[in-house]
């Protein structure tokens, strides 16, 4: 039965991604699966339950992959790299699933029936905990761990979205590039050299 359920979810995910929640009917999903309606209803009582299962499955798989990739015994800076590399690798391995997650994350509230607040908070808090761990060991020096966590999330998201939308080669999300992205975040982009002060008029 697991194979049947997974097949239904794969088909439904594709349907929801193409036509949105409102534009997708349970009948269209049934037709696309080639199963009978009773078979689909055996696993999911209605469209809302099916969609909720898809949402939880997508975010849980992404979150668990990231958590499993982190070695808690390593310095926080190395864990930061592992998190970025894990999200990049997950996108390369499951691009359709990640497209679904990205579409959900940036969808308008009326585009679906799920409250994503708890899911997004879980992700944010995991990044925040990583930053606070680095602050406690003296590796990181930032004013606000929450803001730093948002910065990491944004950096990962924009790279993944760029890969999915801009036609980059897989190397764009390689572990080597994840290291470069982590280094940019850790080192910052501010020039630490002495700045010459210029008077008005360029003198």
Q: Which residue has the tokens 């668990």?
A: 64
From CA 200, how far away is CA 203, in angstroms rounded?
Answer: 7
Task: Give the C-alpha distances (Å, rounded to integers) separating 152 from 23, 51, 118, 158, 195.
Answer: 34, 28, 19, 10, 28
pLDDT over threshold 90, residue 115: no
Q: Name the residue among 24, 6, 2, 4 with its Cα closest to residue 15.
A: 24
Decide if 101 contacts 55 (C-beta within 8 A). no
pLDDT per residue as tens digits for the range 2-24: 789 999 999 999 999 888 888 89
Read off the DSSP letter of residue 171.
G
pLDDT per residue as tens digits for the range 39-94: 999 999 999 999 999 999 999 999 999 999 999 999 999 999 999 999 999 999 99
Task: Give the C-alpha distances (Å, rounded to integers) separating 196 from 174, 188, 192, 193.
Answer: 39, 21, 12, 10
**Cβ atoms within 10 Å of 86's Cβ, excluding its own:** 20
Q: Which residue has the tokens 């309606």?
A: 37
pLDDT over threshold 90, residue 194: no
The domains of the chain, with CATH numbers, are 1-45 (1.10.10.60), 56-187 (1.10.357.10)
pLDDT per residue as tens digits for the range 133-180: 999 999 999 899 999 999 999 999 999 999 999 999 999 999 999 999
């Amino acid at each position: 039965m697991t194979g049947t359920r997974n097949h239904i979810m794969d088909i439904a995910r594709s349907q929801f991604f193409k036509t949105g929640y409102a534009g997708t009917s349970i009948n269209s999903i049934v037709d696309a699966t080639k199963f009978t309606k009773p078979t689909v209803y055996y696993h999911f009582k209605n469209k809302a339950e099916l969609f909720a299962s898809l949402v939880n499955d997508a975010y849980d798989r992404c979150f668990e992959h990231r958590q499993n990739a982190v070695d808690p015994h390593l310095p926080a800076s190395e864990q930061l790299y592992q998190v970025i590399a894990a999200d990049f690798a997950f996108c390369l391995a499951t691009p359709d699933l990640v497209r679904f997650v990205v579409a959900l994350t940036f969808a308008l509230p009326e585009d679906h029936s799920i409250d994503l607040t708890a899911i997004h908070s879980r992700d944010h808090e995991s990044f925040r905990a990583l930053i606070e761990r680095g602050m406690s060991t003296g590796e990181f020096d930032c004013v606000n761990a929450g803001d730093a966590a948002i910065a990491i999330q944004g950096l990962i998201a924009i790279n993944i979205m760029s890969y999915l939308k801009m036609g980059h080669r897989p190397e764009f999300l390689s572990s080597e590039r994840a290291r470069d992205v982590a280094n940019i975040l850790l080192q910052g982009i501010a020039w630490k050299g002495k700045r010459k002060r210029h008077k008005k008029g360029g003198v």
